[in-house]
Amino acid sequence: MTKQTILVPDIGDYTDVPIIEVLVKVGDAIEKEQALLVLESDKATMEVPSDAAGTITAISVKAGDKVSKGSAVMEIESTGATASA
Protein backbone atom coordinates (compact mmCIF):
# COMPACT_ATOMS: atom_id res chain seq x y z
CA MET A 1 0.00 0.00 0.00
CA THR A 2 1.16 3.49 -0.82
CA LYS A 3 0.10 6.89 0.50
CA GLN A 4 -1.09 9.22 -2.22
CA THR A 5 -2.14 12.87 -2.07
CA ILE A 6 -5.25 13.80 -4.03
CA LEU A 7 -4.89 17.16 -5.80
CA VAL A 8 -7.50 19.36 -7.47
CA PRO A 9 -7.24 18.77 -11.24
CA ASP A 10 -7.20 21.51 -13.88
CA ILE A 11 -10.47 23.39 -13.36
CA GLY A 12 -9.98 25.96 -16.10
CA ASP A 13 -9.04 29.57 -15.51
CA TYR A 14 -10.52 29.60 -12.02
CA THR A 15 -8.79 30.17 -8.70
CA ASP A 16 -10.29 30.10 -5.22
CA VAL A 17 -13.19 27.85 -6.23
CA PRO A 18 -15.42 27.00 -3.24
CA ILE A 19 -16.01 23.43 -2.13
CA ILE A 20 -19.74 22.94 -1.73
CA GLU A 21 -19.68 19.32 -0.56
CA VAL A 22 -17.19 16.70 0.65
CA LEU A 23 -18.56 13.32 -0.45
CA VAL A 24 -16.27 11.01 1.57
CA LYS A 25 -14.91 10.74 5.11
CA VAL A 26 -11.74 9.35 6.69
CA GLY A 27 -11.85 5.55 6.62
CA ASP A 28 -14.01 5.31 3.49
CA ALA A 29 -12.90 2.80 0.85
CA ILE A 30 -12.98 4.48 -2.56
CA GLU A 31 -12.71 3.35 -6.16
CA LYS A 32 -10.71 4.97 -8.94
CA GLU A 33 -12.74 7.79 -10.55
CA GLN A 34 -15.12 7.98 -7.56
CA ALA A 35 -16.29 11.55 -6.85
CA LEU A 36 -14.65 12.95 -3.70
CA LEU A 37 -15.63 16.64 -3.66
CA VAL A 38 -18.06 18.97 -5.40
CA LEU A 39 -16.74 22.39 -6.46
CA GLU A 40 -18.75 25.36 -7.68
CA SER A 41 -17.38 27.78 -10.27
CA ASP A 42 -19.62 30.57 -11.54
CA LYS A 43 -22.89 28.73 -12.18
CA ALA A 44 -21.47 25.26 -12.79
CA THR A 45 -20.62 22.49 -10.35
CA MET A 46 -17.84 19.96 -10.87
CA GLU A 47 -16.96 16.75 -9.08
CA VAL A 48 -13.32 16.02 -8.25
CA PRO A 49 -12.64 12.30 -8.86
CA SER A 50 -10.06 10.06 -7.23
CA ASP A 51 -7.20 9.02 -9.46
CA ALA A 52 -6.66 5.79 -7.50
CA ALA A 53 -8.52 3.21 -5.44
CA GLY A 54 -7.82 2.97 -1.73
CA THR A 55 -8.87 4.17 1.71
CA ILE A 56 -9.18 7.82 2.77
CA THR A 57 -6.61 8.50 5.52
CA ALA A 58 -6.84 12.31 5.81
CA ILE A 59 -9.03 15.14 4.53
CA SER A 60 -7.52 18.62 4.58
CA VAL A 61 -10.54 20.60 3.34
CA LYS A 62 -14.17 21.12 4.28
CA ALA A 63 -17.27 22.61 2.67
CA GLY A 64 -16.77 26.35 2.27
CA ASP A 65 -12.99 26.14 1.76
CA LYS A 66 -11.62 27.54 -1.51
CA VAL A 67 -9.25 25.56 -3.73
CA SER A 68 -7.36 25.98 -6.99
CA LYS A 69 -5.65 23.64 -9.45
CA GLY A 70 -3.03 21.61 -7.58
CA SER A 71 -4.48 22.17 -4.10
CA ALA A 72 -3.99 19.12 -1.87
CA VAL A 73 -7.41 18.04 -0.61
CA MET A 74 -6.94 14.58 0.90
CA GLU A 75 -4.67 11.58 1.29
CA ILE A 76 -5.42 7.97 0.52
CA GLU A 77 -3.69 4.69 1.22
CA SER A 78 -3.85 3.24 -2.28
CA THR A 79 -4.41 -0.45 -2.79
CA GLY A 80 -1.69 -0.59 -5.43
CA ALA A 81 -4.13 -1.74 -8.09
CA THR A 82 -3.47 -0.17 -11.45
CA ALA A 83 -5.85 0.30 -14.33
CA SER A 84 -3.98 -1.81 -16.87
CA ALA A 85 -6.97 -3.72 -18.21
Instruction: Give the pTM.
Output: 0.83
pLDDT of amino acid 79:
77
Q: Counting Cβ atoms within 10 Å, is residue 83 exposed (0-12), middle (13-18) or buried (19+)?
A: exposed
Domains of the chain, residue spans: 2-72
Amino acid at 46: M
pLDDT tens digits in sequence order for the chain, 85 residues long = 799 999 998 888 778 999 999 999 999 999 999 999 999 988 789 999 999 999 999 999 999 999 999 999 999 998 765 443 3
Distance CA 81, CA 62 (A): 28
**In b/e form, how buried is each residue of 31-70, taking b as 16+ CB within 10 angstroms?**
eeeeebbbbeeeeeebebebebbbbbeebebeeeeebeee
CATH of range 2-72; options 2.40.50.100, 3.40.190.10, 3.30.300.10, 3.20.20.70: 2.40.50.100
